[in-house]
């Protein structure tokens, strides 16, 4: 069974640009969450989508946005990039049966460098 696939794996952007990251969840998984990982702040929750609806949102500015498609694939977008946005962006998916089995499976991440 294929895992969570994130593309691109690495990318370099300059300040002011925007970026779109893609995530394909495990087949059958309907919930997709996004996290930002930095050495200083660790793993921080960005947002979570379920059935194309944002179900939860972290404390990030509006420059960070996301969406989920009908096939559960998800994208996140960061506009007007700042140096501090350099991070590993992790996508995670879950089967979400609503039974309390909160097992998140993470992808390998997209490493964004902002120059």
SS (H, E, C) 25-38: CCCCCCEEEEEEEE
Return the number of the residue (18 or 31) whose C-beta is nearest other proteins.
31
Return the number of the residue (15 or 95) whose C-beta is nearest other proteins.
95
Residues of this chain, 54-113, that bind other proteins according to CB under 8 A: 55-56, 58, 90, 92, 94, 96, 98-109
- Cα distances (Å, whole numbers) of residue 80 to 21, 29, 63: 15, 31, 7
Distance CA 13, CA 19 (A): 8
Residue 31 engages other proteins in binding (rule: CB under 8 A): yes
List contacts with other proteins (CB under 8 A). 4, 31, 33, 35, 42-45, 48, 55-56, 58, 90, 92, 94, 96, 98-109
């Amino acid at each position: 069974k294929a895992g969570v696939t994130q593309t691109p794996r690495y990318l370099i952007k300059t300040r002011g640009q925007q970026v779109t990251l893609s995530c394909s969840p495990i087949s059958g998984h309907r919930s997709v969450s996004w996290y930002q990982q930095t050495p200083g702040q660790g793993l921080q929750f960005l947002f979570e989508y379920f059935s194309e609806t944002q179900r939860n949102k972290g404390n990030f500015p509006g420059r960070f946005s996301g969406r989920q498609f009908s096939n559960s694939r998800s994208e996140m977008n960061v506009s007007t990039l700042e140096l501090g946005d350099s991070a590993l962006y992790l996508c995670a998916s879950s089967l979400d049966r609503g039974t309390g089995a909160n097992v998140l499976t993470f992808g390998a991440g997209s490493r964004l460098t902002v120059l």
